[in-house]
Amino acid sequence: GPDILPPIPIPWEHGVCAFCGMTVVTPEGGANPPGFREKTYAQVRLAPGHELHGEHTLHYESLASMFNHAYTQNIVDGHAATFYVADVMAAPATADDLLLSRSAVFLWAKILSVSMASHLGAFPSLEVLEVYVAD
């Protein structure tokens, strides 16, 4: 679909996953090293009038959570919604670092150790993904 809504700032300090309720950042002293969830952060922007439970932006700690939640809620990228994902190789610092999901390249592989054990990561291009896999 044609809709592209801009991403909003990532709520690193207080954000929780809209699907599973986990924090979007590994807390200090957590089981995983700080930054673990950031590399799979995802965001869905919803157009005015299409909010979900009063929210116009949904935050996720993993790509799997975003895609599962979108499926269960019948949210479709480009149709009153825009999906954004983090580059698994470069955790985003700000919303400007996010990739437009429809332009990203995805890899499902056991070599990806990511949140929710989904083994799913997003890359900015096929070339970057190929370098990652070759390494």
Q: How far is CA 79 from the centre of its chain?
A: 18
Going by pLDDT thresholds of 50, 70 and 90, the confidence category of residue 134 is confident
Angle CA(93)–CA(101)–CA(135) in degrees, nearest 5? 70
What pairs with residue 70 in β-bridges? none
Report the alpha-carbon distance of residue 36 to residue 51 in Å, rounded: 29
| Model confidence, pTM | 0.89
Q: What is the pLDDT of residues 34-70, one digit of tens each?
A: 666 567 899 999 999 999 999 999 999 889 999 999 9
Report the alpha-carbon distance of residue 115 to residue 62 in Å, rounded: 6
Q: What is the pLDDT of residues 8-38, one digit of tens each?
A: 999 988 889 999 888 887 667 766 666 665 6
